Amino acid sequence: MLEFSQPLQQRTGQVNLLTPNGWAIADQVVLEDGLIAQIHFIKPQVDTPDPELPYLLPGIIDSHGDAFEREISPRSGSEFPLDLALATNDHLLVGAGITTFYFSITDGFEPGMRSRKTVRELLSLIEKHKQQLKCDTRIHIRHEQVNTEDHQELCEWLSGGRIDLLSLNNHLPLPDDEYKVKRFKTSISRRLKMSDEELDTFIAGLQTRRETGLEQLGELSSLARQHGIPIASHDDGNQEDVERAVAFGVSIAEFPLTLEVASAMRDKGVSVLVGAPNLVRGGSHIGALAAADAIQNDCADLLCSDYHYASLFRAPFVAAQEGLCSFESAWQRVSTGPAKALGIDDVTGSIEEGKDADLLLLDRLDGSPLSIKRVWVKGRSVLSVD
């Protein structure tokens, strides 16, 4: 199926090819020096692919994935070395067909795994091992509004080109919302060993940082825009959130809570991201907007792995099977769509001559990662199954 004609050149055999214009059949695709050098078409466009041929798809771009946290701490109270977690996570990504991954690191207000200390360590470790990682790995900082300490350090990371995507998060519920405060305490208590009294004191201290944190978000977003770093909002729930996001220069809305907010974001020119696990499981695990509804109403531009990598491979198949959109359109939400929203569509996200050879070869279109037979990242074969 694949022949090596010279050290830096590879050629596929005949394949069904998913292009920006739909399916095509190619006699061969030539990969050279990490790029898609030539595509020799037999049929530049076909209505349906040939079931006798393998399928070549653009590699998956995951703009928001934090399942790596389970590799660091698979059980509450147990943590493993970060380098081991990083290596294991890299294998999981490639096995799920993800060729470009935004390491979604929470820059939070909690001690432990979501602390600035862990962010520093992960950032340095990823930079150290970047050339060894199979997946094209980038940095996505999920900054919590009330994490107001070491603000200048984060500014320096943005100015220094160490961050590829910045999300503006605020997971701290308002103090007068008893239901959300109770749910928040339950969630955070799983990670922090504190008594009820200690948790109450801790949360009360966080509440005092809201205004300072909001001012800092303005500074961070300004720096990000200055240095061409895309900005994402998170869990927007009303029109006020939409207006604030637009004022900050947000280009991606992560997980809007309602269809109305998702639609308002798109009206403002903001790309909307929804979670693949939401689609695969049949709904949001917290009762928010269903990804299926967003896709069916043309209010979703991107899918991400969120907390489960393999779901991002499965999701386009689910969308097509449920009649939400065509498979071709669904696959764009894991390739072309993210590439455009993240500003990297000039180099990846679609199968075109001159772009990075970030590709998946499948022997069948059944939605199972077991059907992935070959994965290339920048022309390097990182997965090969006989």
Residue 169 CA to residue 141 CA, distance in Å, equals 10
Longest dimension (CA), the chain: 70
* Measured distance CA(327)–CA(321) in Å, rounded: 8
Burial class (CB in 10 A: 0-12, 13-18, 19+), 255: buried
- For 120-160, give the DSSP string: HHHHHHHHHHTTT-SSEEEEEEEEETT--TTHHHHHHHHHT
pLDDT in tens, 284-300: 877 789 999 999 999 99
DSSP code of residue 240: H
What's residue 75's pLDDT?
86
Count of beta carbons in the 10 Å neighbourhood of residue 127:
12
Please name each of the domains of the chain with its CATH number: 2-57+371-384 (2.30.40.10), 60-348 (3.20.20.140)
CA 186, 187, 188, 192 dihedral sign is positive
Contact 191, 113 (CB under 8 A): yes
C-alpha separations of 1 from 13, 25, 225, 330, 346 in Å: 5, 15, 45, 27, 28
Alpha-carbon distance of 324 to 317, in angstroms, equals: 10
Q: Which residues of the chain have pLDDT under 50?
A: 1-7
CA 99 from centre of chain = 11
Q: Tokens for 63? A: 């703009």
| The two structure tokens encoding residue 32 | 């050279």
Per-residue model confidence (pLDDT) at position 78: 86
pTM: 0.95
Q: Up-side HSE of residue 127: CA atoms within 13 Å toward CB?
A: 12
C-beta of residue 25 within 8 angstroms of C-beta of residue 41:
yes
CA distance 244 to 105: 23
CB atoms within 10 A of CB 288: 17
- Looking at residue 194, the DSSP 8-state letter turns out to be -
Identity (one letter) of the amino acid at 172? L
Closest to 173 measured CA to CA, from 182, 164, 165? 182
